[in-house]
Amino acid sequence: GQNTLNGYLPVTVFMVLSRSLLYALIFGPTLGSLFGKAGQQDAKASAALRELEEGDPTRLSNLTGAYARLLTLATRYALVTFLLTLGALFGAFTWYGASGNGMVFFSDSDPKYAIIAIKSRGNLAAEQINTLVLEVEREILSIPGIKAINTTTSVGGDTRRGMDRNGQIFLELHNENERSQSGVEILEAIRTNTAHLAGVTVEVRKMEQGPGTGKPIKLEFRSRNRALLEPAVTRVRDYLDANLAGLRDIEDTRSMPGIEWKLDVDRAQAALLGIDVAQVGMAVQLVTNGLKVAEYRPDNAREEVDIRVRYPASERGLGAFDDIRISTPQRLVPISSFVDRIASPRVDTIQRINGMPVEYIRADVAPGLLADTLVKQAQAWIDSQTWDPQLTIEFRGANEEQAESMAFVSVAFLLSLLLMFVLLVTQFNSLYQALLILFAVVMSTAGVLLGLIITGKPFSAILTGVGIVALAGIVVNNNIVLIDTYNHIRREHPELDYIALIVRTGAQRLRPVALTTITTIFGLLLASNLSIDFINRNIIYGGQMSSFWVPLSQAIVSGLTFASLLTLVATPAMLALPHQLRHVIARLRRGTTPPDATPMQEPASA
């Protein structure tokens, strides 16, 4: 289920990180002491290292020196840097709110498997059904790229879905590197090739790769008053058919059109005539299914066969009711003298959930469209209409699962932030520094949304949501490294002013932060684009298994990139902000004017 799936990632990450920590603390140093050798450095590298550790990093001529000079500027104008950072974050969230590409429940990867449902109306015999399914099968086999099909036929079906489901074809496509068309293109070709078949409806649905939800759009109608359901379903179905062109394979659970004949017996009149109601039932059976008189079991059968008696075919049917005579002690009495025949709409199945009668509308969406977008349009129309207070209309299926997944991710996100905040406060003994570390989570979330806008991808409720939660534990590491180094240098060199202190911190931590970010990004980029089959020794670019994890990898890559870039500039600037604010407050208390853009230097212990 969904909760089980959501639990896999945290458990896997916990196991991997615990083992990697064990290796870093025990096995790594042990192996290094056994096999490692001290490297040789030239004079230039040694001089750069001394400048980085004890001197002024801005004097370096490499990338680290350029970064140190940028950091000096950002730190001197800390308030401006902070406001620009807030503006970038606000712009990212606003841009996504205006230009976001909607939401999907799981991953929308290219299909390799599909199910073809073949439906028709009418009381068809097994041979007729087989002929229809064979026609569909021939059209499917004419399309290249199909590896295998498995066909089954059945007589009858669920009439609550509008027609009988007479056949089903399970379809498997060749691997991506063995066909020229994508899975979506092949499924669309199946729709096109079977559209001309008369008397049959072909539904093509790709196999769901995540938690099963059925068709992505599912409307549930509930009411204690069952008479309200079918008119409401008809009203909504008419709107969907006429106004939402992106929907396809729409079905509902209304009864198929038909008539049921009810016999209303006037019991008082029957009693006056001396007729028992049971006699009426027996007489009616003689012109319908027959009256059971005995059972017989053939020698080669395990179950009994009913022996029924009924009138000849020429004397059965709807008109035969009027000719039925019931025998009484006095005479034969026409059944029409005390029984009324009433025509009413047929109701073949009544469905209840928790004792409440329900009806459903289910629909699929065309390629390139999001169910979330169409659901919002339909919901807006439903909200604008007037409905009986006894009737409840709700979207279920993928929309319901999507809402539950987002609720899970939101709770997990808040709990993870709370636990990290408590841990950071206890370790750094500073509320400001703990909040500054967690500020990276906001940066990473903005980066995820920017990545979705740039790539034009929808937000995956499960994979992108889990990616954001995972990022909360990844991006804070860069801030932890920076602030921990800042505190260490401040203790070791209390004579340094805060700008020199912050610049030296950033210059020393630039390489670890950059390497950690780059290696994580490259690893995820490969994992989301390459499928490696170690058994068959195959490497497939953009295969089904790799594309399955694209939303998760994309969320972590874009969020980590954006957060790391801002962390290297915004976090050091925000470390300088309290110093500059204290300068402003001190000068205001002395009655002097605030300092200019270049703040006074002070000891780091101030």
Cα–Cα dist 53/255, whole Å? 81
| Upper half-sphere CA count for residue 150 (Cβ side, 13 Å) | 5
- H-assigned helices in 475-600: 476-492, 498-527, 544-548, 550-589
What are the φ/ψ torsions at residue 9 (nearest 5 degrees)?
Answer: -65, -50
Higher pLDDT pick, 241 / 162:
241
Cα–Cα dist 119/163, whole Å? 6
- AA identity, residue 132: L
Q: Which residue do the tokens 């140190």 mark?
A: 68
Quick one: tokens of 485?
């180094």
DSSP E strands in 84-145: the ranges are: 103-104, 113-120
Whether residue 438 contacts residue 524, with contact meaning beta carbons closer than 8 Å, is answered with: no
pTM over 0.75? The answer is: no
* 74-114 tens-digit pLDDT: 999 999 999 999 999 999 999 998 887 777 777 777 788 88
Banded model confidence at residue 601, pLDDT cuts 50, 70, 90: very low
Higher pLDDT pick, 516 / 207:
516
Whether residue 399 contacts residue 370, with contact meaning beta carbons closer than 8 Å, is answered with: no
Mean pLDDT of the chain: 82
Strand partners, 104: 460
Domains of the chain: 58-103+402-589 (1.20.1640.10), 112-206 (3.30.70.1430), 215-258+349-396 (3.30.70.1440), 261-345 (3.30.2090.10)
DSSP string, 92-104: HHHHHHHH---EE
pLDDT attached to residue 70 = 92
Question: Please, what's the b/e burial string for 138-155 (b: 16 or more CB within 10 A of its CB; e: otherwise)?
Answer: ebbeebebbeeeebebee
368: left (phi over 0), alpha (psi -120 to 50) or beta: left
pLDDT attached to residue 41 = 63
DSSP E strands in 174-283: the ranges are: 201-206, 217-222, 247-252, 259-265
Stated length of the chain: 606
Helix or strand or coil: residue 281? helix
Quick one: tokens of 62?
């490499």
pLDDT attached to residue 7 = 63
Question: Is pLDDT at 606 greater than 50 in this prediction?
Answer: no
Query: For the ranges 321-325, 403-407, 487-491, 596-600, which has the lowest average pLDDT?
Result: 596-600
Mean pLDDT value across residues 360-377: 86
* 534-545 tens-digit pLDDT: 666 666 666 666
pLDDT attached to residue 315 = 79
pLDDT attached to residue 594 = 47
Mean pLDDT value across residues 513-526: 85
Question: Is pLDDT at 511 greater than 50 in this prediction?
Answer: yes
